[in-house]
Structure 1
Amino acid sequence: MSDAKLRDLQAFLVVAEEQNFTRAAARLGVSQSALSQTVRALEERMDMPLFLRSTRKVSLTEAGERLRALVGPAMEEIRQGLAQISALRGRPAGTIRISADEYAVRSVLWPALPAFMASYPDIQVEIATDYGLADIVGQRYDAGVRRGGLVSKDMIAVRIGPDIPMVVVGAPAYLERHARPRHPQALIEHNCVNLRLPAQGYFAWSFRKGAKEHRIKVDGQLVLNSLLQIVEAALAGVGLVHVPEQLVREHLDAGRLLEVLREWRQTYEGYHLYYPNRRKSPALALLVEALRHAP
């Protein structure tokens, strides 16, 4: 098979994963029109449609589903094989695709990545920020990063981060206008900024004091899907927020935010990098070690 046909099949697989030509073109580093022409030429050669297209969505036809099932595993084997062969040169190479939530990228991935990439210039790292529990096998990620309790039991998991204490904080101006809550249940009387997760809905506010644990359904005027935006909302005095303590440590030290319900702090198990139960590529093995020993 020619290199051009292999590239066409790779383009087909990326569009099938993204279900969107714009995102697929960005991943492949080509224009949307060029990608559309590539897929259309592949469909013409096969004499059958591979995608159903609408103004909002792209989905696979039955023929497209069969092609992905046949070609996807083979392309993955080729990718893994090329990565292993590259390692024989003494310069590890290849692409590592990782799914991680926003805070994991900031707190455990980014601190290690600059030095890692400088040490291995032929390794490319691609990170997809996602608060959902991505199917890393189905979406062909090499690995995912999630809190320990969220990792599926059929995955190999490596601890790469410390436990995560959560805090409820608000701006001094907000707390001057509203009485400080003394118990988690009192949060129902406050304007709380919610985090909405893609699959699970609102992120539950969980609290622990001794053996007692409370899960509170809070409400408020503002709902966001980014922890960094939620911190900005707290600084602006919009309401109370529930976030990892490390994310707001500098604002607490500077007095820009104040903590409430400190005695009810909940602590979650730290982040793990996880991957399917199969031999990992040399590039991923190097990244795992770098993350395990990061300061």
Structure 2
Amino acid sequence: MYRPALGDLDAVIAIAREGSFRGAALALGMSTTALSNAVAKLEAKLGVRLFNRTTRSVSLTDAGRTFVEQVSPALQDIHGAMDAVRSQQATPSGTLRINAFAAGARDVMSPLFLEFLRRHPEVHVDLVAEGRLVDIVAEGFDLGLRRADLVPADMIAVPLGRPQRYAVVATPRYFKQHGKPRTPTDLLRHRCIRIRLPNGALFRWHFEKRGETAQIDVTGAITLDEASLAREAVLDGIGVGLFLEQNVRDDIAAGRLTRVLDDWTPPLGDLCLYYPGRRNASAALKAFVSLARELGKRRP
């Protein structure tokens, strides 16, 4: 009697969750070809197709949907039992999957991620940096990294001592030619880098000063959805940009960029590591959280 390997079942669940073979392969750390072969073998043994495949999309068949609904809870129990055993490890090992936004990950890359790997060389960290907010449990992550006000209420949050704040900047030459904005509404007379959010909406620049708030729908020559590209545009003198402070801190210190409206950009909240409350956390997760708490007690 054919008994599928646990990895084959994980493959089906990952494809159903990610909606694509490529996304599932990246999540599982394997090649798309190997993943496709594993699913094809499973379908052949079961005698049914689990997925409808086209060049543009992947979707569950009726049989596949029934299969996933019945197998998924059982897999969670199996992985829970494995986590319970791993929690008894003396030495952290295995893989930690972490979801973060890019600017936050850069801010703690050396003192948290790389320091953890130096201390625990038997652990592999799989870090996914993206702008969208995800359900870390539903998408198979062990931990998340976001600003405090974006951490779900049912998660355990660990402040990292990295207050998040926006910075409005442009080159000294740009401000010499066009003048510096003194209030947020002055930005309406400037060329600004527009920001597109992961959901496709345009970001309105938010400001606050002594209880007074302002949201400015800026205009400019270019709209971008990636901070590093926006930084290049601002450094090239195209206009004014709004960034998380850590993305342009070195440029400000070196004089490449000049900051304005400093009194209108108060701290937004601390950067936090967060995770679900699990009774049987792995030794690797416990060690990572411990280092995060240690980092939170220090100042950058």
Please indicate, yes or no, whether the TM-score normalized by the shorter chain is above 0.5.
Answer: yes
Deviations 1:167-219 (A, max 9, x none): 10001232233232111012122221133222372333111111111121212
Partner of 2:76: 76
In structure 2, distance between residues paired with 1:221 and 1:50? 47
TM-score by length of 1: 0.90
Do the aligned residues in 2 keep the contact of 1:167 with 1:245 (CA within 8 Å)?
yes
Structure 1 residue 222, shift from structure 2 partner: 2.0
- Measure the CA separation in 1 of the matches of 2:266 and 2:200: 19
Equivalent residue, structure 1, for 2:294: 293
- Unpaired segments ≥5 residues, structure 1: none
Secondary structure of the structure 2 residue equivalent to 1:7: helix
Q: CA offset at residue 106 of structure 1?
A: 0.6
Match of 1:217 in 2: 217
User: What is the CA distance between 1:223 and its match in structure 2?
Assistant: 2.2
Which position in structure 2 is the counterpart of 1:129? 129
Structure 2 gaps, min length 5: none
DSSP 3-state at the match of 2:221: coil
Q: What aligned pairs does 1:18-167 form with structure 2 within 5 A after superposition?
A: 18-167=18-167
Match in the other structure for 2:207: 207
DSSP 3-state at the match of 2:141: coil
Assess, with a 3 A threshold, how the Cα gap between structure 1 residues 271 and 64 changes in structure 2: closer, same or farther: farther
TM-fit CA distance, 1:107: 0.9
CA contact (8 A) 1:83 1:94 kept: no
Cα separation, 2, equivalents of 1:72 and 1:260: 52
Distance in 1 between the 2:191 and 2:51 partners? 45
Pair 4,44 (structure 1): closer, same or farther in 2 beyond 3 Å: closer
Alpha-carbon shift at residue 110 of structure 1 (Å): 4.2
Distance between the aligned counterparts of 1:77 and 1:96, measured in 2? 19
Q: 1:2 to 1:224 in 2, by over 3 A?
A: farther
- Whether the 8 Å contact between 1:108 and 1:161 is mirrored in structure 2 is no
CA drift of 1:11 comes to: 1.7
Residues 151 and 10 of structure 1: CA distance in aligned 2, closer, same or farther (over 3 Å): same
Alignment of 1:133-282 (within 5 A): 133-199=133-199, 201-279=201-279, 280-282=281-283
Deviation at 1:10, TM superposition (A): 1.7
Conservation of the 8 A alpha-carbon contact between 2:193 and 2:222: yes
1:4 deviation in Å? 5.4
Shift of 1:26: 3.7
Comparing 170-179 and 66-75, the one that deviates more: 66-75
CA contact (8 A) 2:98 2:127 kept: yes
CA shift for structure 1 position 87: 4.5
In the alignment, is the contact (CA less than 8 A) between 1:169 and 1:258 conserved in 2?
yes
Tell me, in whole angstroms, the C-alpha distance in 2 between the residues paired with 1:70 and 1:196.
39
Change (3 A) 1:135 1:189: same
2:143 alignment partner AA: A
Aligned residue-pair number: 295
Identity of aligned residues (%): 38
Following the alignment from structure 2 to structure 1, what is the Cα–Cα distance between the partners of residues 211 and 30? 55
Alpha-carbon offset, residue 85 of structure 1: 2.5
Aligned 8 A contact 1:206 1:266 in 2 = no
Structure 1 residue 235: Cα displacement? 0.9
Residues 192 and 240 of structure 1 are in contact (CA less than 8 Å); yes or no, is this contact kept in structure 2?
yes
Mark the CA change 1:142 to 1:152 in structure 2 (over 3 Å): closer, same or farther.
Answer: same
Contact 1:80 1:281 in 2 (8 A): no
Whole-angstrom distance in 2 between the partners of 1:130 and 1:103: 10
